[in-house]
């Protein structure tokens, strides 16, 4: 019988056969390629019981307006059954710029919460027991500064550093590759990352100092293969940097975590999570020979694909998110964020976020998919996809090795160009209707139904600017200047900057002041334009 | 007899602090492929830089991408600067995460068109072509 299309391809461009059989897995050995759950190479999951033992952490990324606004949203989410916090910062904060810098005008509190000083951080976590929640902070360029603020808030409340648990995104390589929010050139940025890793091994042992992120690479238009390859290679780059400054791999590698996208191609996405675990286990073992098995285990957070959502017929986004979330769960994620249906229009409303959280709860509690570990393992199709993704990622590894590593590849614009080309291919497929997006290139509706939108008032900016001005007036400026000077000295030699950052934030140096001081030492970066 | 007119010159760039440049790059490529001269500014441009470049490069239109929520402030500032520089003949359009209400306000303020996630690229190309009737 005639098929609907002459060719069937996965979202990442793999040709897909009509049916998969044992012939597609000829040299495939379950012992070598799968192992048991919780055993090398961890294809089936990093824990033996997986979601039978503990469900994934439901962690909704949240942040908007002032510290008080976001603090209220955190409490709302915790009250509705969420069990971990995840902070979204606004653009000025992500770029290390204070709210009263002219460049921040119009951006304050819009796509996250504004944090310019230790006082803001204190208000953000007011009434939240930092020793009982786990906190994830999506911050990269100024990650070390924001982390210092978090540590200082805990200290002030009498919570010891070793009690703190959470994650700092702190992944600068994917910023150069995809998200484009950097402050300094790659080399000093890597040094800040090894400083945070080293500080955590000694003082904040439960903390995850880097969350190696493919999410943004995928959102920038990459394929699943590129997301997998570039992310894992970024991870190896951080391991390498930390080993080079004298840390033993088993001291820090168990605390590294990953962050992946959960996109539309259901089976390809599940395969991606599985391939990621196997590839990480194999590469870590081959390259660094760790003694602690946890050093080779890939733990991850996942988020459904923001870029797959549409402004047209926004309620359809709930359905897309459900399918993507299910893929992440079947892929064995440790934690998950589900996007809200209104995120192509603005930051999500309370109601939309609750529906997104409920989506996870329904998957967890009603679908019964958590009953068995890696339930799709052994499927001819899924195992073939897992193999192909792993092989394709390894090809990229060889090319990156040949270029002299990721930093050199970034300077040449290599990953950036690969992603842009992939993104353009996909766009052409949409325009030729080789791929259908409901409500966008098929099943259009003339009248769009409107949904409620979250608005950020102008007063957030005014208040934030006023607060910062008060802080500058009230602080001991000599003490502040001394702390910043000491920080610059530490940054100019190879001393770990973390203790100096903590002193500087305690002396009420602002985020912008600290980042400017560090730019004086480290310099700035302009990307090669890839078009 | 048709007279070959000069190709449209379009400035494409990102104002403000956000670095989400997937869409803007695809649009820059698409306009270039459609035969236009594209001046691509790259990331993190201020309204002042954009307007200065637009005037120096003598462009017909400015297309800006903003995904951080700062669209109201930034598009208005660019319009103001164009007015101050007596360069209101340069058409301003853009795209991003922009709610209906803001689309209405900004178009009333003189932004010619705003495109949102899911907008077909060919629609954007057709819009830009339509800015200057070809001889």
**Please, is A445 exposed, middle or buried when counting C-beta atoms within 10 Å of its C-beta (0-12, 13-18, 19+)?**
exposed
The token pair that represents A409 in the structure block: 């590849």
Nearest-10 crossing angle of helices A266-288, A380-402: 50
Structure confidence by residue, pLDDT tens digits, B18-29: 888 989 999 999
Inter-residue contact A59 to A48 (CB < 8 Å): no
H/E stretch holding B71: helix B71-84
In whole angstroms, what is the distance from residue A450 CA to residue B95 CA?
Answer: 19
Is residue A30 domain-resident? no
The phi, psi pair for A326, rounded to 5°, reads -60, -40
Instruction: Look at B73 and A311 and tell me if their CB atoms are within 8 Å.
Output: no
pLDDT for the residue numbered A83: 77
Distance from chain centroid for Cα A228? 13
In whole angstroms, what is the distance from residue A166 CA to residue B36 CA?
Answer: 49
Structure confidence by residue, pLDDT tens digits, A498-519: 999 999 999 999 999 999 999 9
Structure confidence by residue, pLDDT tens digits, A34-44: 999 999 999 99
CATH for B44: 3.40.50.280
In whole angstroms, what is the distance from residue B128 CA to residue B135 CA?
Answer: 15
Q: Per-residue pLDDT for B69 more than 70?
A: yes
Tally Cβ neighbours within 10 Å of residue A13: 15
Give the bridge partners for B63, in sequence order.
B12, B93
Distance from chain centroid for Cα A265? 20
Min distance B33 CA to chain A CA atoms (Å)? 12
The token pair that represents A478 in the structure block: 């000599």
Residue B69 near chain A (CB below 8 Å): yes
Residue B49 near chain A (CB below 8 Å): no
Structure confidence by residue, pLDDT tens digits, A87-139: 999 999 999 999 999 999 999 999 899 999 999 999 999 999 999 999 999 99
Flag whether the pTM goes above 0.90.
yes
Residue with tokens 């409490």: A75
C-alpha Rg value of chain B to the nearest Å: 14
Residue B46 near chain A (CB below 8 Å): yes
* CA distances from residue B125 to A264, B36, B115, B128 in whole angstroms, order as listed: 27, 10, 11, 5
Inter-residue contact A59 to A335 (CB < 8 Å): yes
* CA distances from residue A469 to A94, A104, A122, A350, A516 in whole angstroms, order as listed: 20, 15, 17, 31, 18
Tally Cβ neighbours within 10 Å of residue A286: 9
Domain total in chain B: 1
Q: Is A443 left (phi over 0), alpha (psi -120 to 50) or beta?
A: left
Q: Which residues contact A302 (CB under 8 A, 6 or more apart)?
A: A259, A260, A261, A262, A273, A328, A331, A333, A335, A336, A337
pLDDT level of residue B119 (50, 70, 90 thresholds): confident
pLDDT for the residue numbered B135: 45
Specify the 3-state DSSP secondary structure of A438.
strand
Which residue in B43, B73, B100 is closest to A105 by CB distance?
A: B73
DSSP 8-class letter at A529 = P
Q: Per-residue pLDDT for B60 more than 60?
A: yes
Min distance B25 CA to chain A CA atoms (Å)? 6
Inter-residue contact B75 to B45 (CB < 8 Å): no
Q: Which domain holds residue A398?
A: 53-431
Instruction: Nearest chain A residue to B97 by CA: give it.
Output: A345
pLDDT level of residue B100 (50, 70, 90 thresholds): confident
Instruction: Look at B22 and A423 and tell me if their CB atoms are within 8 Å.
Output: yes
pLDDT for the residue numbered B120: 85
pLDDT for the residue numbered B133: 65
Q: Which residues of B fall within a CB distance of 8 Å from A345? A: 97-100, 116
Q: Which residues of B fall within a CB distance of 8 Å from A527? A: 42-43
Instruction: Look at B22 and A219 and tell me if their CB atoms are within 8 Å.
Output: yes
Q: Which residues of B fall within a CB distance of 8 Å from A308? A: none
In whole angstroms, what is the distance from residue A235 CA to residue A237 CA?
Answer: 5
The token pair that represents A185 in the structure block: 């050139």
* HEC sequence for A161-190: HHHCCEEECCCCHHHHHHHCCCCCCHHHHH
pLDDT for the residue numbered A113: 96
Tally Cβ neighbours within 10 Å of residue B133: 7
Structure confidence by residue, pLDDT tens digits, A189-213: 999 999 999 999 999 999 999 999 9
Min distance B89 CA to chain A CA atoms (Å)? 25
In whole angstroms, what is the distance from residue A293 CA to residue A273 CA?
Answer: 19
The token pair that represents A279 in the structure block: 């590839």
Residue with tokens 């072509």: B129
Instruction: Look at A103 and B17 and tell me if their CB atoms are within 8 Å.
Output: yes
Residue B104 near chain A (CB below 8 Å): no
Min distance A25 CA to chain B CA atoms (Å)? 37
Structure confidence by residue, pLDDT tens digits, A154-165: 999 999 999 999
Which residue in A94, A106, A344 is closest to B73 by CB distance?
A: A106
Strand residues in A423-482 grouped as ranges (E): none
Is residue A447 domain-resident? no
In whole angstroms, what is the distance from residue B5 CA to residue A491 CA?
Answer: 57
Q: Which of B57, B58, B71, B69 is nearest to B109 (CA)?
A: B71
Q: Which of A245, A296, A301 is nearest to A495 (CA)?
A: A245
Q: Per-residue pLDDT for B3 more than 70?
A: no
Domain total in chain A: 1
DSSP 8-class letter at A141 = T
In whole angstroms, what is the distance from residue A314 CA to residue A339 CA?
Answer: 12
Q: Per-residue pLDDT for A374 more than 90?
A: yes
H/E stretch holding A303: strand A300-304
Min distance B1 CA to chain A CA atoms (Å)? 33
Strands A211-213 and A166-168: unpaired
Instruction: Nearest chain A residue to B116 by CA: give it.
Output: A311
Q: Which domain holds residue B113?
A: 9-129
Q: Per-residue pLDDT for A332 more than 50?
A: yes
Q: What is the dihedral of CA B52, B57, B59, B62, to 10 degrees?
A: -40
The token pair that represents A341 in the structure block: 């249906």
Instruction: Look at B100 and A103 and tell me if their CB atoms are within 8 Å.
Output: no
Q: Per-residue pLDDT for A230 more than 70?
A: yes
- Identify whether A334 is preceded by a cis peptide bond (ω within 30 of 0): no
CATH for A125: 3.20.20.240
Q: Which residues of B fall within a CB distance of 8 Å from A530? A: 25
The token pair that represents A260 in the structure block: 């992946």
H/E stretch holding B54: helix B47-56
- H helices within A253-349, ranges in order? 266-288, 316-330
Look over chain A and give the mean of its residue pLDDT values, rounded to a whole number.
Answer: 96
The token pair that represents A180 in the structure block: 């484009």
Measured CA angle at A63 (ends A61, A65), to 5 deg: 165
Instruction: Look at A97 and B17 and tell me if their CB atoms are within 8 Å.
Output: yes
Instruction: Look at A439 and B118 and tell me if their CB atoms are within 8 Å.
Output: yes
């Amino acid at each position: 019988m005639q098929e609907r299309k002459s060719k069937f391809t996965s979202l990442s461009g793999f040709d897909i056969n009509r049916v998969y059989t044992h012939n597609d897995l000829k040299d495939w050995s379950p012992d070598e390629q799968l192992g048991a759950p919780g055993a090398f190479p961890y294809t089936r999951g990093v824990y033996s019981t997986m979601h039978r033992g503990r469900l994934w952490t439901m962690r909704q990324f949240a942040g908007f307006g002032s510290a008080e606004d976001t603090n209220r949203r955190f409490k709302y989410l915790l009250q509705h059954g969420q069990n971990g916090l995840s902070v979204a910062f606004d653009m000025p904060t992500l770029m290390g710029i204070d709210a009263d810098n002219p460049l921040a005008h119009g951006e304050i509190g819009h796509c996250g919460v504004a944090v310019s000083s230790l006082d803001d951080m204190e208000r953000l976590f007011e009434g939240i027991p930092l020793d009982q929640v786990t906190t994830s902070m999506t911050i990269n360029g100024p990650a070390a500064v924001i982390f210092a603020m978090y540590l200082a808030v805990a200290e002030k409340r009498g919570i010891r550093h070793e009690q703190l648990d959470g994650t700092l995104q702190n992944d600068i390589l994917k910023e150069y590759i995809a998200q484009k929010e950097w402050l300094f050139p790659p080399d000093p940025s890597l040094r800040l990352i090894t400083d945070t890793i080293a500080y955590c091994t000694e003082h904040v042992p439960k903390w995850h100092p880097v969350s190696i992120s493919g999410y943004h690479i995928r959102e920038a238009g990459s394929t699943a293969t590129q997301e997998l390859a570039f992310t894992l290679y970024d991870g190896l780059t951080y391991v390498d940097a930390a080993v080079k400054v004298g840390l033993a791999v088993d001291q820090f590698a168990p605390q590294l975590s990953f962050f992946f996208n959960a996109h539309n191609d259901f089976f390809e996405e599940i395969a991606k999570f599985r391939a990621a675990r196997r590839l990480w286990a194999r590469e870590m073992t081959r390259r660094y020979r760790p003694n602690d098995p946890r050093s080779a285990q890939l733990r991850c957070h996942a988020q459904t694909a923001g870029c797959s959502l549409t402004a047209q017929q926004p309620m359809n986004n709930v359905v897309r998110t459900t399918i993507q979330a299910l893929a992440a769960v079947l892929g064995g994620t440790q934690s998950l964020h589900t996007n809200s249906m209104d995120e192509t229009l603005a930051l999500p409303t309370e109601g939309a976020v609750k529906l997104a959280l409920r989506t996870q709860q329904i998957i967890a509690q009603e679908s019964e998919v958590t009953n068995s570990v890696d339930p799709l393992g052994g499927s001819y199709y899924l195992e073939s996809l897992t193999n192909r993704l792993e092989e394709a990622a390894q090809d990229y590894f060889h090319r990156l090795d040949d270029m002299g590593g990721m930093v050199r590849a970034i300077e040449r614009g290599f990953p950036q160009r690969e992603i842009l080309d992939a993104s353009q291919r996909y766009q052409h497929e949409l325009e030729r209707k080789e791929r259908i997006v409901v409500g966008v290139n098929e099943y259009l509706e003339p009248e769009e139904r409107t949904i409620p939108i979250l608005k950020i008032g102008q007063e957030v900016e005014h208040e934030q600017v006023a607060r910062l001005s008060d802080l500058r007036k009230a602080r001991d400026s000599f003490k502040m200047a001394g702390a910043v000077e000491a920080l610059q000295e530490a940054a100019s030699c190879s001393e770990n900057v973390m203790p100096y950052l903590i002193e500087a934030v305690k002396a009420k140096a602002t985020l912008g002041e600290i980042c400017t001081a560090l730019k004086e030492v480290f310099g700035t970066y302009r990307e090669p334009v890839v078009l | 007899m048709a007279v070959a007119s000069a190709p449209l010159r379009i400035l494409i760039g990102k104002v403000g602090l956000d670095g989400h440049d997937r869409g803007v790059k695809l649009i820059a490529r698409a306009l270039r492929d459609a035969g236009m001269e594209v001046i691509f500014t790259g990331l993190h441009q201020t309204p002042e830089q954009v307007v200065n470049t637009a005037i120096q490069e003598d462009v017909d239109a400015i297309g800006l991408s903003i995904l951080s929520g700062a669209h109201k402030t930034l598009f208005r500032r660019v319009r103001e600067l164009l007015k101050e520089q007596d360069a209101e003949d340069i058409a301003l359009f853009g795209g991003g995460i922009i709610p209906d209400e803001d689309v209405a306000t900004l178009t009333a303020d003189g932004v010619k068109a705003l495109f949102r996630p899911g907008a077909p690229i060919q629609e954007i190309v057709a819009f830009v072509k339509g800015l200057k009737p070809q001889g």
